Structure 1
Amino acid sequence: MAERTVLVINSGSSSIKYQLVDPDSGDSLASGIVERIGDTTGSITHKVDGRKIEIDEPVPDHGFGLAEVLRLFDEEGPRLEDANIVAVGHRVVQGGRYFSGPALITDEVVERIEQLVPLGPLHNPAHLKGIEVGRKLLADVPHVAVFDTAFFQDLPEEAARYALNREVADKYSIRRYGAHGTSHQFVSAAVAEKLGRDDLKQIVLHLGNGASASAVVNGHAVDTSMGLTPLEGLVMGGRTGDIDPAAVFHLVRVGKMTIDEIDHLFNRESGMKGMTGESDMREVRRLINEGDQNAIDSFNVYIHRLVKYVGAYTAVMGGLDALTFTAGVGENDSDVRAALCERLAFMGVKIDLEKNAIRSSESRIISTPDSSVTVMVYPTNEELAIARQAMTLI
């Protein structure tokens, strides 16, 4: 057993993802997910030692779900009593202007996270449930909140401030907060270490069902695509990304839609799902192979948005040394990588198509030696990043 471990909890509105991590070696000792919390049918999957234990049962609430997780640890291993847990790390999406790094969870910190719910209405309430239940069930170890927004806390004012009336913007805390910061920080630091340089101008593309881009100079974020909420920026599985805000006014006035209906439309029923009927890029690729014109056009919209952001961030940084793909689509979809890099050929970007086609869980360089930009695939590990950030406070 590891000398010390951290239990990482990512509590969503209807799910709990968890992982027991050795922060020193980076090994995952066990992981799992509780799904469809509050539905008539629920499921729990627990993975340990190459085994997968699956339970189908109703999960009425987060308290029941996390209690079941602790039972599975006890019965299937590794026993938490023997796991030398030194902290529980909780992912929290919205930390506002208050949290520039991890925070030891106290009643005051919980209260502050509650105050930030208006800025993170889809995420922070679920994180609060996970924190509340976790602190009750695992009361003997410190709990640490790690914030998605922390890495972007010190964005330059020119990148963080919207051109909204200053008085209104400041009164209602409207600015660019970013998200996926834990992933962007982990990957950008790992790339700098792998390339042996701390003076990099780099772009990290976190491409999953949610997608975001960041521009990082000398280890510090100077811009990021997600904004006040994770809705802004790139085309995503179910989210629009960038869209003229007047579309909201139009849908209210002409479409007679409510704000809640538009919120659901933009966040859940748009992006690739809204354009093709499929949020999973693998399914979109299947449709493309069948000659589906909607899927072909939608894929081009997806790539076009990426090209715009890479070009803009290269200009913002005054150059580009490294371009890194991470997360589900970024790590596994060679077609997305190839299509984007082909569009960046004018910048001197060249990739080795054979290396790009390799499926691997290892970090790797896929650009050619004469490419003007080092192009990499680097698997993100947000759980390890959360565990290591939690350790800094223990």
Structure 2
Amino acid sequence: MKILVINSGSSSIKYQLLDMENDSVLASGVIECIGLEQGILTHKKAPDTDAAIKIVVEQPIPDHAVGMHLAVDALTHPEHGVITDASEIDGVGHRIVHGGEKFTTPMLVDQSVIDGIREVADLAPLHNLAHLTGIEVAQSIFKCKHVTVFDTAFHQTMPAKAYQYAIPYEIYEELHVRRYGFHGTSHKYVARRTAELLGKPAEDLNIITVHLGNGSSLAAIQGGKCIDTSMGMTPLAGVIMGTRSGNVDPAVLKFIAEKKGLSIQEVEEMLTKRSGLVGICGMSDMRDIHSAIEKGDERAKLALDMVCHRVRQYIGAYWAELGRVDAIVFTAGIGENDDIVRLGVLKGMEPMGVILDEAANAKRAGEWARISTPESKVDVLVVRTNEELEIARETVKFVK
């Protein structure tokens, strides 16, 4: 069974074709700069193998329909393609950023689902409307079942005490202002994979998943269900990220706006695109920050320390919520690859039963690795996330 996973953005389309007989990636690609003067298609055949083939096509891509047809051309090309015809695709899974309170599980696409995604689009206007465009174009090409998988769905098991804001209740009722959380597909996949690796039912485990990348979030997962997560109504909340501030005192927005003569939109743009790591030290890539620290850059050191401090705070809070922690799991770009950040986050947790194996932590994890010692009372793992595989698996359920 072949499943195509699509993530349609406002000016891009990411895709991955998977063979669900063995969960292998047949091809992947990204179409960028849609609607600009010059677009780019980057396509990879068998990207995870030694026989990988990469091609790059540069041409004007005026809209998503042209972009999607380019992807089909690449997937069916005699040399770097992996199928002969679009009809070989058995199902299409669509990543949707925001499902609001309306969508708590993956859904088979029909008119009511399309209307529902549009209804909650004001919670993520740039993303959801682009997703709808992607669905419309894909449905015109691929005559199979289409499934939506929502980033927010996994966190919909949070109790009201965790997702409510302490604002007038009628604001929540009218505008649905609450905490939703994001990266849910990643947290769900990693938690399930952790249970498999530990050889225990997910229902018996309490896990803290630590998704650290340019965007970062943590989740407290009890018995396979999320009971709390660090992001809020938007992905701006929580820990410090590449360009996002994470949590700040809400009154800071008014203070900065008045002192700097900025609108609320301009302050939000600052907190979203010019804060976080880049705001502290001018760099958003953790590799650059480590290099700067080695050269004595004090602000780079401050940025690293702040990130580790905030992540450790959330781990402590979720530990208190869960009562017992069986595993702490790092994932995503920084979580999977940055041993310095992992060490900084876990440093000093030995009295809590977390004992890091520094030699194991310093090695490349690959698909997964245990980086705690046998004496550690809590398993500490690094698990490579795979959101596309999770979306594909959910799509298969509907196709079958």
The alignment's TM-score, normalised by the length of structure 1, stands at: 0.96
Alpha-carbon distance in 1 for matches of 2:384, 2:308? 20
Alignment partner of 1:322 is 2:327: yes
User: In the TM superposition, what whole-angstrom CA distance separates every residue of 1:204-223 from its partner, at most 9, and x where no partner exists?
Assistant: 00111111100001111110
Aligned partner (choices 15, 23, 26) of residue 23 of structure 2: 26
Alignment partner of 1:343 is 2:353: no
Stretches (4+) displaced over 4 A = none
Alpha-carbon distance in 1 for matches of 2:322, 2:176? 26
Aligned partner (choices 130, 136, 142) of residue 134 of structure 2: 130
Q: Structure 2 stretches of 5 or more lacking a match?
A: 47-51
Alpha-carbon distance in 2 for matches of 1:232, 1:122? 18
Matches for 1:112-123 after TM superposition, within 5 Å? 112-123=116-127
> How far has the Cα of 1:82 moved from its partner?
7.3
Aligned partner (choices 39, 42, 55) of residue 39 of structure 2: 42
Say if 1:350 and 1:295 are closer, same or farther in 2 by CA, change over 3 A.
Answer: same
Partner AA of 1:146 in structure 2:
V
Aligned partner (choices 146, 163, 168) of residue 165 of structure 1: 168
Alignment partner of 1:7 is 2:9: no
Which residue number corresponds to residue 260 of structure 1? 265
Which residue number corresponds to residue 90 of structure 2? 86
Say which is worse superposed, 212-221 or 57-66, in terms of deviation: 57-66
Say if 1:82 and 1:9 are closer, same or farther in 2 by CA, change over 3 A.
Answer: closer
User: In the TM superposition, what whole-angstrom CA distance separates every residue of 1:63-89 from its partner, at most 9, and x where no partner exists?
Assistant: 221111111112121125277321110
Alpha-carbon distance in 2 for matches of 1:132, 1:252? 40
Say if 1:346 and 1:42 are closer, same or farther in 2 by CA, change over 3 A.
Answer: farther
Alignment partner of 1:312 is 2:293: no
Alpha-carbon distance in 2 for matches of 1:276, 1:81? 50
> Which secondary structure does the structure 1 equivalent of 2:347 belong to?
helix
Alpha-carbon distance in 2 for matches of 1:359, 1:37? 36
Alignment partner of 1:74 is 2:71: no
Alpha-carbon distance in 1 for matches of 2:107, 2:383? 27
Q: Structure 1 stretches of 5 or more lacking a match?
A: none
> Which secondary structure does the structure 1 equivalent of 2:398 belong to?
coil
User: In the TM superposition, what whole-angstrom CA distance separates every residue of 1:9-63 from its partner, at most 9, and x where no partner exists?
Assistant: 0112222111001234211110011122233333211000301111223333222
Alignment partner of 1:216 is 2:240: no
Partner AA of 2:165 in structure 1:
Y
8 Å Cα contact 1:211/1:236 also seen in 2? yes
> Which secondary structure does the structure 2 equivalent of 1:323 belong to?
strand
> Which secondary structure does the structure 2 equivalent of 1:122 belong to?
helix
Alpha-carbon distance in 2 for matches of 1:39, 1:302? 36
Identity %: 44
For the aligned residue pairs, the C-alpha RMSD in angstroms reads 1.4
8 Å Cα contact 1:307/1:343 also seen in 2? no
> How far has the Cα of 1:192 moved from its partner?
1.2
Alignment partner of 1:288 is 2:293: yes
Which residue number corresponds to residue 305 of structure 2? 300
Alignment coverage as a number of residue pairs? 390
> Which secondary structure does the structure 1 equivalent of 2:227 belong to?
strand
